[in-house]
Homo-oligomer: A and B are copies of this chain.
Amino acid sequence: MSTATDTIRNGVDTDKMFGTLDLIKEQPELAQFQFRATNRWIDGAHNRSTIQGFYAAGGEDTSRDREFRIDAGEPAILLGTDTGANPAEALLHALAACLTTTIVFVAAARKVELTSVESTLTGDMDVRGALGVDDEPRNGFERIGVSFRVTGEAPEAKLRDVVERAKARSAVYDMVTNGVPVDVDVRTD
């Protein structure tokens, strides 16, 4: 006998999850989403993104009752006043968060109860590229290292399979490893 409690695993409602997957299989046009951010320069290396509305499942999703704000900054050595994580660190956050959420969702789907998911990410950069001092080093990280520690009620092999599946399905891991076409347009009036 199934009870409401049975459907929640790792904080994810698996009944709802499988229902969503079935619905999208039946109506693939519902799978078109658009996420958005607006950003405004404040001063120096300080700027702020505001995130709220998005398009999902055939219409504008207005379920969020508040906006999220993320401030960016730079440390003193990069001419800022530490008003927030810098943009490259924010990219590490995006990658860590996406892999982690995907691990949690994949584990829920596979009936794996997780105990903890922790990660440390490092990005190595030769700042001569971004500073325009030398054309040789690239502007961004040369490489990113991600160290996960994942524990749960499952054999090691199963936990490792969950992480592998998460790598194969994570939106941000795909974008960071493969790149995305970016179109930039500019108004000056």
**Chain A residues packing against B (C-beta within 8 Å):** 10-13, 16-17, 20-21, 24-25, 28, 31-41, 43-47, 49, 51, 54, 56-57, 61, 63-64, 66, 68, 70, 72, 74-80, 82, 84-105, 114, 116-134, 137-151, 156, 159-160, 163, 165, 167, 169-189
**CB pairs A–B below 8 angstroms (11 shown):** A12-B44, A28-B128, A31-B126, A31-B134, A36-B89, A36-B121, A37-B89, A72-B97, A91-B176, A140-B171, A167-B184
Closest chain B residue, CB of each to CB of A96: B39
* Top-4 shortest CB links A-B: A11-B44, A87-B98, A72-B97, A140-B175
- Residues on B with beta carbons closer than 8 Å to the beta carbon of A54: 75, 89
CB distance from A144 to the nearest CB of B (A): 5
Q: Which interface residue of A16, A130, A149, A159 has the most chain B CB atoms within 10 A?
A: A130
CB distance from A107 to the nearest CB of B (A): 10
Majority DSSP secondary structure for residues of A touching B:
mixed
Given contacts A93-B90, A122-B35, contact A177 B187 (CB under 8 A): no
Q: Which interface residue of A32, A35, A38, A118 has the most chain B CB atoms within 10 A?
A: A35
Asked if B36 and A123 sit within 8 Å, CB to CB, the answer is: yes
Closest chain B residue, CB of each to CB of A67: B85
Asked if B63 and A93 sit within 8 Å, CB to CB, the answer is: no
Asked if B133 and A47 sit within 8 Å, CB to CB, the answer is: no
Q: Which of B35, B39, B79, B167 contacts A86 (CB 8 A)?
A: B35
Given contacts A63-B75, A77-B61, contact A91 B172 (CB under 8 A): yes
- Residues on B with beta carbons closer than 8 Å to the beta carbon of A137: 31
Asked if A49 and B97 sit within 8 Å, CB to CB, the answer is: yes
